[in-house]
A and B are shown apart, each in its own frame.
Chain A
C-alpha cells in the first residue's frame, strides 16, 4: 500500500487477556519500528527490525511483550496478560534504510486495557 497500515485502529481488552497488533509497512521498506505513546508521554521505542538481522528488542518493557516480522514485511506485536499500564497508542513505522533520517508512521492502534 501507499502508507504504513495498522490494525486494529482501536482495541479494548480485559486485563489479563493477550492482544495482537498488526503492522503492514510500506512495500520495499527494510526497517520497521514499534513505538508507543502513553497518555501525556512522548514516543517510547519498543523494538526495531532491519532486514534479516536480529531485532533490537532493547525497548520492550517486559517479557510480556514480543514482536515478530514475517517474510521481512508484516509485523505483529503481541502483549500477553495485558495490564492497565499497557494502555497506550502503539505506533508502527517503516523506512528504506536505517531510519535515522526519518521514517513513515502508521496511524497507530489505541489499546485500552480495562
Chain B
C-alpha cells in the first residue's frame, strides 16, 4: 500500500527554467509534508516543508504547494540550476504518527 506516490521517476529541464515535481498521497490523516533532496552516496537532506493548514510555503527558489482536496503537493524550483540535479523525495507524516512515509523519488536533471 503505497500511501505516498511520485509518479514521475525522472524529470529533465533546462537551466533557468522551472522544475515542477509532483507527489500524491492517499492517507487523509497526513497533515505535514516535506521534501528531501538526495545526491549520490549521500543521505537525503531536508529541503522544505508545509503544514496542512497552509497551501503554499516558499523558501528562496523553492516553493511547495499543497492541494488537500486533491491530496496532491508539488515542489517548484525556479530558476533551476545544474546543482539542483538530484533525487527528490516527497514525505508525509500525521499528528498521531512518529515517522515519515516517503515516496519513490524523482530524479531531476538540470541541463546547462
> Interface of A with B (CB < 8 Å)?
4, 31, 33, 35, 40-43, 45, 48, 50, 56, 91, 93, 98-108
Interface residues on B, range: 20 to 34
Our pick among A45, A104, A108 for the contact of B99 (Cβ within 8 Å) is: A45
Our pick among B89, B98, B102 for the contact of A31 (Cβ within 8 Å) is: B98
Is B15 among interface residues, defined by CB-CB distance under 8 A?
Answer: no
Is B32 among interface residues, defined by CB-CB distance under 8 A?
Answer: yes
Asked whether A43 lies within 8 Å of B89 as measured between CB atoms, the reply is yes
Name B1-49 residues within 8 Å CB distance of A. 4, 6, 9, 32, 34, 36, 41-46, 49
Tell me the number of A-to-B contacts counted with CB atoms below 8 Å.
67
Report Cα–Cα, A41/B102, bound state, in Å: 10
Q: How far is the CB of B25 from chain A (nearest CB, A)?
A: 13
Asked whether B103 lies within 8 Å of A105 as measured between CB atoms, the reply is no
Asked whether A33 lies within 8 Å of B32 as measured between CB atoms, the reply is no
The residues of B that contact A107 with a CB separation of less than 8 Å are 41-43
Q: How far is the CB of A40 from chain B (nearest CB, A)?
A: 8
The residues of A that contact B101 with a CB separation of less than 8 Å are 45
Q: How far is the CB of B51 from chain A (nearest CB, A)?
A: 9
Q: How far is the CB of B81 from chain A (nearest CB, A)?
A: 23
Asked whether A106 lies within 8 Å of B43 as measured between CB atoms, the reply is yes
- Which B residue sits closest to A103, measured CB to CB? B100
Q: Which residue, B32, B41, B45, B98, has most C-beta atoms of chain A within 10 A?
A: B98
